[in-house]
Structure 1
Amino acid sequence: MLHCRDRRRVGPCLSALVRRACLAISLLAFLAIGGGIAQAAESTSPPPVPFSPPVVRLNLSEAMALFLKQNLDLLIAKYGIESSKGQQITARLFPNPVAQLGNVASFTQGNTLAKTGALTMQVQQLFELAGKRGYRIESAGFGVQSAEADFEDAVRQLGFTIKDAYYRVLVAQRRLSLAEENRDRFARILDVNTIRFKKGYIAEVDLIRIRLQVVDFQAQVIEAIQEGESARADLRQLLRLSPASKLELTTEMDYRRVDPDMGRLRSVALDVRPDIKSRRAALSQREADLKLAKAFRVPDVTIGAGYSVQGSRGPDNQQMGILNLGVPLPLFNRNQGGIVQAEVGVQSAQAELDRTVNQVENQVDVAYQNLLQSRRLVEAYLAGVLEDARSTFTIVERAYERGGATILDLLDAARTSRTIQQNFIEALFSYQRNLFQLESSVGQEISS
């Protein structure tokens, strides 16, 4: 508020008051107009589009194809092949020739460089004998084969990992469906018995037991959701997918009976397992290295050719051609140490091959026995145990509704049905996992 104590200044004070009032009115009008404009802009602008994560639908074959295309571990393994090919290129190259340029002069008795100097130009070339270059090429070729087999073995091992991760997601989905079914079923039972409790038909302790069972099933739902998210995260990482992507798996976890021939599996494994191929290629490479080491006992030859121009006071023949031959004399060093090292390399490679063969045979046998045992368990559930557990729960539930069973009988039947169904899911997953393990042990898919 504006105060004016001096009457002589009433006029100026009134003028200042009027100016302030006008300024306030203008400011309010501006804010009102601005607010209207903002509201109009908000009314005309389109509503924000909610974010929807990309959905990736994959069956098992599509997941494997995406894995082979994008997995970083496989991309790293491919670099080993390219490195071996570089060594193969190097092995094919010939030694570079050596060019020499020399000048000899005599400065005695008043001679100068222009009068007595000799300018010599020469080119020398090393020629490897005893097949050294061929042995190097042979060794590098086996190195490439070994690197390619190592890549195939990485595909084999990581392929089992991707299948296992895929089916762990399916197991989590089955567990979630089972937990939600049991929760919803007991939620309905809880609603009915809440009404019965209010009418005095059941005791409060029975209602509390049902309520606790609903909470237990809800905890199982949350646990299954957490397991599913963790399994999906592992699968996305293997497939090199964004964490924002939503995975939908279309392959069902169904039972497919497989009855393979053990003798044939062992024979196929010894022929096609890439780690055995890698060990065989490594053994061949060490044998080629041994032949190369023995070839170094034979000295290489250096041949040179050149031309010499002398000054005016040199010998009568002032221009001469030069041809020389250089051969090391193998009196002391005949590559004895290199030969011993190469022989040890052959023995070590042979031991590695024998150990790998033994491991493969045992892996195939163990995976086959595990498959048989898990198959028997799944077929035992499918023979009627699984259906009996579900039917028992339904029968006891109906009897409880008619008063022919107690709440303890109902809870016991529910727990038994849940345990049997969860055990069946675990047995089915174990069977499928053992089948994948057997395929990985053999090195190829098993169709029957």
Structure 2
Amino acid sequence: MSERYHRSGASSPMYQMNYLTHMLCCMCCTIGVITGSPASEASTTDSAPSVGHHTASTVRLSLEEAITLFLQQNLDLLIAKYGIESSKGEQMTARLFPNPVASLGAVSSPVQGRTLGNSGQLTSQVQQLFELAGKRGYRIESAESGLQSAEAGFEDAVRQLRFAVKDAYYRTQLARRRLVLAEDNRDRFSRILEVNTIRFKKGYIAEVDLIRIRLQLIDFQTQVIQAIQESESARSDLRQLLRLSPVAPVELTTELEYQRVDPDIIKLRALASDARPDVRAKRWTLSQREAELRLAKAYRIPDVTVGAGYAVQGSHGPDNPNQMAFSLGVPLPLFNRNQGKIIQAEASMQAAGADLSKTLNQVENQVEVAYRNLLESRRLVEAFLGGVLDDARSTFTITERAYDRGGATLIDLLDAARTSRTIQQNYIEALFNYQRNVIQLESAVGTDITS
């Protein structure tokens, strides 16, 4: 049958075109299969140490280990820590009292022969400023609120960076799952191609069917190459976040798998409004502005400067050569009663209050959106796990067996392969979106969600 098939159209243009197509597909398939093995090896270089002259030890990281490593080396957190230290310095400054002022003066008339030794006067005095109206207490209150705000800002930076690491970590796992799926499809169709090449040589199938199988194999090989590129790009992003060497093999131990999360939205709303770090930072900033307003109003009351001194005169001076001196100084608030600073402090307090309201509104919306997205993505994943995923896999297997026995056409086989691939890809994407919605909800609330 095969011989008759070839002889009947050997001299026709259609046969020549089919022959050229056959040769081209063979070349592409050969290149794809040859390059497939190194590509697979390249895809696993991050999961095993390289062997050779330059051997690097594999870095095994769970999700929490990756977060810990990232937080230890992140420069933004280092800057935030410096901000906390600066606020501690401001707090220390606010607690200090004004320094006393010591003065020393001399009175003499050398033109008239009255020198300091015979009839001049030597005066020493110490003055101390006493702050009234609770100014020091308001300064301390403002500085303490500023310190609390800086610490909450640091916690908020940690919250945002934890989300960035988790997202990069699971993106890397998503790329790995895509690569595994693409390699499975390629390997499966490689076996199908081997079997059908033998069948073609025996004349059991037409050449056009063999070409279709080869084209499908090339399509799967293309998906493998794309998945390798995506995997390497995701791992590169993760290495940059963790500040690891570009050649360091990395093995991620926390799998991208489904774990049902059923949070209580009412508790999450209350928790986000009360405990989220950026909300606490805004509240402490508002408290700081209120203390600054009270301090500005306190400056309307002048402070008192009290002084005490001692004067010594020369031997030819008056009868009282030794004198005690006391002084009391109070500014007269006739013009400057700190009106401008009070207006500025009031405006700053109002702006801080508006900023807090804005942040609370954003947090409430973020929690609500993240919660709804979580529910939808969870419903989709559970739909896949409810039988759709297994049906897609089994359908491909059943169709493949039926095709081998002649009970299904090649079109049925290719359609089952594409359907199985699409369903599995959609499941992986849905699983990643679900996991990402979980960490988005955790970031919106400001704490991890375990149930």
TM range (shorter): 0.7 to 0.9
Distance of 2:245 and 2:122 partners within structure 1: 71
Where does residue 119 of structure 1 map in the other structure?
122
Where does residue 61 of structure 1 map in the other structure?
64
Matched, 1:147 2:142: no
1:431 aligned partner, one-letter code: Y
Please say which of residues 331-340 and 107-116 is displaced more in the overlay.
107-116
Matched, 1:414 2:421: no
Matched, 1:425 2:411: no
Q: CA deviation at 1:218?
A: 1.5
Where does residue 388 of structure 1 map in the other structure?
391
Q: Deviations over 1:27-59 (max 9, x none)?
A: xxxxxxxxxxxxxxxxxxxxx962221211122
Q: Could you say which structure has the larger radius of gyration?
A: 1
1:87 aligned partner, one-letter code: E
Question: 2:324 is paired with a residue of what secondary structure?
Answer: strand
Where does residue 156 of structure 1 map in the other structure?
159
Where does residue 240 of structure 2 map in the other structure?
237
CA RMSD of aligned residues (A): 1.7
Q: CA deviation at 1:68?
A: 2.9
Where does residue 271 of structure 1 map in the other structure?
274
CA contact (8 A) 2:60 2:250 kept: yes
CA contact (8 A) 1:293 1:335 kept: yes
Distance of 1:49 and 1:234 partners within structure 2: 25
Matched, 1:203 2:222: no
Where does residue 96 of structure 1 map in the other structure?
99
TM-score scaled by structure 1?
0.86
* 1:343-382 to 2 correspondences below 5 Å: 343-382=346-385
Distance of 1:202 and 1:263 partners within structure 2: 64
CA contact (8 A) 1:311 1:318 kept: yes
Matched, 1:257 2:266: no
CA contact (8 A) 1:132 1:292 kept: yes
Where does residue 132 of structure 1 map in the other structure?
135
Question: 2:123 is paired with a residue of what secondary structure?
Answer: strand
Distance of 2:217 and 2:105 partners within structure 1: 99
Distance of 2:173 and 2:98 partners within structure 1: 60
Please say which of residues 321-330 and 133-142 is displaced more in the overlay.
321-330
Specify every segment of 5 or more residues in structure 1 that has no aligned partner in the other structure, as ranges.
1-47
Distance of 1:125 and 1:100 partners within structure 2: 12
Where does residue 303 of structure 2 map in the other structure?
300
1:284 aligned partner, one-letter code: S
Which segments of structure 1 move beyond 6 Å, counting only runs of 4 or more? none
Question: 1:322 is paired with a residue of what secondary structure?
Answer: strand
Distance of 2:308 and 2:247 partners within structure 1: 71
1:440 aligned partner, one-letter code: S
Matched, 1:220 2:223: yes
Distance of 2:185 and 2:257 partners within structure 1: 21
CA contact (8 A) 1:54 1:244 kept: no
Matched, 1:175 2:194: no
Which residue of 104, 107, 110 corresponds with 2:110? 107
Q: CA deviation at 1:194?
A: 2.0
Q: Deviations over 1:306-339 (max 9, x none)?
A: 2223334433323322221111011111111111
Q: CA deviation at 1:114?
A: 4.1
Once the two structures are aligned, what percentage of the paired residues are identical? 73
Which residue of 190, 204, 222 corresponds with 1:187? 190
Question: 1:325 is paired with a residue of what secondary structure?
Answer: strand
1:201 aligned partner, one-letter code: Y
The number of equivalent residue pairs is 401
CA contact (8 A) 2:106 2:122 kept: yes
Distance of 1:221 and 1:310 partners within structure 2: 102
Where does residue 444 of structure 1 map in the other structure?
447
TM-score scaled by structure 2?
0.85
Q: Deviations over 1:340-365 (max 9, x none)?
A: 11111111111111111111111111
Where does residue 398 of structure 1 map in the other structure?
401
Q: Deviations over 1:124-149 (max 9, x none)?
A: 11111111111100110011110111
